[in-house]
Structure 1
């Protein structure tokens, strides 16, 4: 599995309530209409952390984001198919993130999950 990891803030002038309504009522359904996207995970940032694992390392002050989101794909080919699908089926500008979302980073990652057995 690969993930697109996105960190972002809300554009100044857009309320949190307006943003949340748009995100879950408009944008998430628009994204999930793309058959190549397996899953969305929205991680709302609560606070930064300055130490790791019981004080074993100091963590530099973090940039604080409103949310870090994950988009899950089967593999690189599925991600490319996702991009291609939106080329053929573009989102109308009034439904998209422009003017609402201030992206800070957007990365493609190789993901491995480790769970307690």
Structure 2
């Protein structure tokens, strides 16, 4: 037996919007780390800690760029999915419109002398 599939596209779009916000945050997050690493490198030139701070900042910036791209891609996919489901629902509803029109004047037949039936 096939289960019921119910999609709430508004919730998917809301999640997609959150992904977009997180994507922007991930992209801007390394700025403070990079500035701090540059200050550490200037203040501690020649020491291993300066090189380590710069390497950490570079790695962090690269990681956040990858996260930004992933979240941005996820936002795009979720948005497309929600819109596709909405379109499918609209198309499915349109398929039933002719039946709705045909049945709008339908009255339940009654048998004389029998109990009345209400539609």
Task: Give the number of the structure with larger relative contact order, counting CA–CA contacts within 8 Å between residues 6 or more apart.
Answer: 1
TM over 0.5: no
Higher percent of residues as helix:
2
Shorter chain as denominator, the TM-score bin is under 0.3
Q: TM-score, normalised by structure 1?
A: 0.19
